[in-house]
A = this chain, B = another copy of it.
């Protein structure tokens, strides 16, 4: 059964609006693929959450308890999305965090999105967004709740044929998709933007790095520009739900090959990334 919500372990959809997650976006989230009752890459999700919570100076988390709650929510789901939100909890009015915060744990399950199989086989159409990402090293890499930039970027297009938008930072560097990480294949080099200034360090990105190593591709994290994207042989998006999508169109530019992408998808599938099992 999907579309269920738990707050602090109880099945309820009633959150106190004084929660700092709403008041200030003072929190984090993880979007997790569930297959056959198992939350995929759960260790990586919890690891990122724990490290980000420490950066935001949350109190130490009960990671075992959190994992148990996720496992319980996922247990009877065959194929679904599980979203975990962790906020700093309630507090008196004002930005100052409480001395002893009691974080709020919210788990929501939703039905699995239906993406066309061609997205994996032929690639997706994409566009470059006008909305830029601000440079903020203090928040870079984390999947925090301050997501207005992504909302504004995703609001730029209605065309259902466009699957994802590319985002640049305010200094014209390539960073990511609105909901995904981004990769360029150039020969045997797999290039991905540095996430030191902005962007989210995706859980699937680590799986892509592993798959690249299996395929003998050289992994590079660096500063990339639009011209790098247009000069690349292939381009891909990844996130925890989609796995990996090759790109066939970026605005007017066409990528003529998706061969490397297909090899990455097959390798991800072999690593247990079930949504990439499209052969």
A residues in contact (CB < 8 Å) with B: 5, 7, 13-26, 29, 56-57, 81, 83, 85, 87-88, 93-97, 106, 108, 110, 113, 131-132, 134-136, 138-139, 144-155, 170, 178-179, 198
Contact = CB atoms under 8 A, between A and B. Distances in A.
Contacts of A16: 5, 13-15
Given A94-B179, A154-B95, A25 B148 contact: yes
A148 B144 contact: yes
B108 A25 contact: no
25 contacts: A5-B18, A13-B17, A13-B18, A14-B14, A14-B16, A15-B22, A17-B85, A17-B108, A22-B22, A22-B106, A24-B25, A24-B147, A24-B151, A25-B25, A26-B148, A81-B93, A94-B179, A95-B147, A95-B151, A95-B154, A97-B151, A131-B138, A135-B135, A136-B149, A146-B146
Nearest to A3: B18
B138 A135 contact: no
A131 B136 CA distance: 10
Chain multiplicity (copies): 2
A111 B132 CA distance: 39
Nearest to A57: B155
B85 A24 contact: no
Given A136-B170, A149-B138, A22 B21 contact: yes
Nearest to A150: B95
The interface residues of chain A, by DSSP majority, are classed as loop
Contacts of A17: 5, 7, 13, 15, 85, 106, 108
A243 to B, nearest CB: 16
Given A7-B17, A22-B87, A24-B148, 4 more contacts: A15-B15, A56-B152, A95-B179, A96-B154
Given A13-B18, A22-B22, A108-B18, A148 B154 contact: no
B96 A25 contact: no
Nearest to A99: B158
B131 A97 contact: no
A147 B146 contact: yes
A93 B110 contact: yes
Nearest to A110: B93
A129 to B, nearest CB: 11
